[in-house]
Amino acid sequence: MIRAVIFDYGGVLGSSGNFYEDVGKFLSRSPSEIQEATKRLVPLFQRAEIGELEFWRYLSGALNVQLPSGYRSKLEEWYARESFVNKEMLELADRLRVNGYKRAVLSNTLYPHLTNWKSKIQKHIPIIIASCEVKMRKPEGRIFRLAMKRLELKTQEGIYIDDDEEFLRAGERMGLIPVHYINQQQVESELENFGVNIR
């Protein structure tokens, strides 16, 4: 029996902004250059193993560019301007609450991003498991085990909604039922197919 639904944030409950595009414009580099330069860096940042200052300094060295003034506040500024929440999915989370289901968010995120969306989401979904706070990230199995522990779930009692197939496979290996987010209608249809009461 399904007892809980776990949501990803970026691409499901809300927007993650345009990280690579914004950093690229700021440093006069292409998004693909930024993505390549931060391939090993972003996971460290998401687990809070490095901070924002270290991120910028490493990136400056990797690209051999001088950091423009004001760089320390740029990530938070971009996230504040570009991030938005998916009101329809939050309304779904509210219906799940009324119908007795537990809810949680499981997100790979950075502190400058988390501060922008956490308070907005927590009104609807009380359990937030953010990579930068728990020092682990998807697709690591331990972060899924943590989510299941906090929700007090056994195998096959939780549905995990994400737009990333790699993360869905990782969650499935840990005993969660995967639902690949494409749009609201499709997610609701799949939830009902699993016997979840969303009305």
**Nearest-angstrom CA–CA distance, 87 and 105:** 15
pLDDT of residue 148: 97
Q: Residue holding tokens 């308070």? A: 119
**Nearest-angstrom CA–CA distance, 105 and 117:** 11
**Which of left, alpha, beta for 179 (phi over 0: left; psi -120 to 50: alpha)?**
beta
Torsion of the alpha carbons at 62, 109, 49 and 53, rounded to the nearest 10: 50
Torsion of the alpha carbons at 7, 188, 87 and 74, rounded to the nearest 10: 40
pLDDT of residue 17: 82
Give 167's contacts (C-beta < 8 A, 6+ positions apart): 8, 138, 139
Domain boundaries, the chain: 4-15+84-193, 19-82
The ranges of the chain with pLDDT < 70 are none
What Å distances lie between residue 113 and 85, 92, 94, 96, 185, CA to CA?
12, 23, 23, 26, 27
Side by side, the strands of the sheet bearing 127-130 are 127-130, 102-107, 4-7, 158-162, 177-180
pLDDT of residue 16: 80
Class at the top of the CATH hierarchy for domain 4-15+84-193: alpha beta
pLDDT of residue 83: 87
Is 129:146 a contact under the CB 8 Å cutoff?
A: yes
**Nearest-angstrom CA–CA distance, 12 and 126:** 17
Burial (CB < 10 A; 0-12, 13-18, 19+), residue 125, is buried
For the entire predicted model, the pTM comes to: 0.95
From 173, 105, 100, 95, select the one nearest 139 (Cα to Cα): 173
